């Protein structure tokens, strides 16, 4: 049996629930039998190794542990996993991926080896990296992993000329979108999408819930807080305040008081006249422990994020329809004058969703 594959599968069950921590799974094996398994389920709660050790109990002595990420060796919200592994008498630890977190970063491996434990690294490393791409990016950059999602016609439009976009994609694609929303920390739209669509930005799967934290970019802060409070996005910001990102030149004392009264959080950043500095915005979101950000439009926002080269991953749902030249395009002018200069995606994955096609790729 592939025990590391099982550990990865255990970790995957808790996608969207462990932020800002990584996804981690662990399996303990002795004499060819699984005696313990576990996964990290929520930030602040026990790590995967602890669950596995608890299930294995005294039988852990001289057993082998398979874990998807290097065990921690520092005191955080929970005690160091390395000390519990050592105390349990584990003989060998097989690790998929070294943790880049400066608090760990090889120190956990060194601690285990110093205690006489045989440590092997790199089994299913590529899969472990893919699984924790959000965490790895966040730890290295202190900014969210940015995902752009859009539903497109075959001629690259996200809406008809009147702004109608319901529904370009099919039901299966829409369910995929709600699943994607359930996995991220925050979701972002621009002013035009906010006003034209009045979206809920909630999650509608087995049950309906508010979903990730919601962010709207309104550079000039030229929409009254009262008007915003009447919209679905505001009403669906229950446990976490709605965030409005704006240009700092437009954030007056009066505006602060107006938005504070409605419990709307304002993030002011530098920028040009009609736009904000997206890198600075992402840095400020990272300070709030937002590790992943889903962009859902509109055209102006997609273009600005792409031009700033701050999109990490794309989920593009393609439907077999044409909307013509008057339709609203996915992207505005990128000022690209040759094929050679085109923006390129890599590591492309293609999934057929009945009559729709999902293109997943990374910005090269």
- Point out the residues that are catalytic: 49
Cα separation of 198 and 214, whole Å?
Answer: 13
Cα separation of 215 and 100, whole Å?
Answer: 29
Start-to-end Cα distance in the chain: 36
Cα separation of 34 and 52, whole Å?
Answer: 10
Pick from 90, 21, 1, 97: which is nearest to 49 by CA?
90
Using only C-alpha atoms, what is the Rg of the chain? 23
The number of beta carbons lying within 10 Å of the beta carbon of residue 41 is 17
Helix 107-114 to helix 81-88 angle, to the nearest 10 degrees? Answer: 20
Alpha carbon of residue 262 to chain centroid:
28
Alpha carbon of residue 322 to chain centroid:
31
Q: CA distances (Å), 195 to each of 12, 163, 199, 303, in order? A: 36, 11, 9, 18
Query: Three-state SS for 208?
Result: strand
């Amino acid at each position: 049996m592939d025990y590391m594959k099982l550990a990865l599968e255990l970790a995957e069950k808790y996608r969207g629930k462990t932020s800002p921590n990584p996804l981690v799974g662990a399996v303990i094996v002795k004499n060819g039998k699984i005696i313990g398994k576990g996964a990290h389920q929520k930030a602040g709660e026990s790590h995967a190794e602890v669950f596995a050790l608890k299930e294995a109990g005294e039988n852990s002595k001289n057993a082998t542990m398979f874990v998807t990420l290097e065990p921690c060796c520092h005191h955080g919200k929970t005690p160091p996993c390395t000390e519990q592994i050592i105390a349990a008498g584990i003989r060998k630890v097989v690790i998929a991926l070294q943790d880049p977190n400066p608090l760990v970063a090889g120190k956990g491996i060194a601690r285990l080896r110093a205690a006489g434990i045989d440590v092997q690294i790199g089994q299913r490393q590529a899969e472990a990296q893919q699984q924790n791409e959000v965490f790895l990016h966040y730890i290295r950059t202190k900014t969210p992993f940015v995902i752009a999602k859009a539903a497109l016609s075959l001629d690259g439009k996200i809406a008809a000329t009147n702004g109608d976009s319901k529904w370009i994609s099919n039901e299966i694609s829409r369910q995929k979108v709600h699943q994607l929303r359930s996995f991220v920390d925050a979701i972002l739209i621009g002013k035009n999408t906010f006003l034209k669509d009045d979206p809920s930005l909630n999650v509608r799967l087995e049950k309906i819930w508010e979903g990730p934290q919601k962010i709207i970019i309104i550079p000039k802060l030229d929409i009254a807080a009262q008007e915003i409070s009447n919209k679905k996005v505001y009403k669906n910001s229950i446990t976490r305040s709605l965030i409005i990102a704006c240009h700092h030149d437009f954030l007056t004392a009066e505006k602060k008081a107006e938005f504070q009264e409605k419990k709307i959080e304002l993030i002011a950043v530098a920028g040009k006249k009609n736009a904000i500095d997206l890198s600075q915005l992402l840095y400020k979101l990272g300070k709030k422990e937002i590790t992943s950000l889903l962009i859902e439009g509109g055209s102006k926002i997609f273009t600005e994020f792409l031009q700033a080269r701050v999109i990490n991953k794309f989920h593009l749902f393609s439907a077999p329809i044409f909307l013509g030249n008057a339709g609203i395009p996915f992207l505005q002018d990128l000022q690209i004058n040759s094929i050679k200069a085109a923006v390129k995606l890599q590591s492309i994955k293609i999934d057929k969703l009945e009559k729709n096609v999902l293109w997943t790729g990374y910005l090269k």
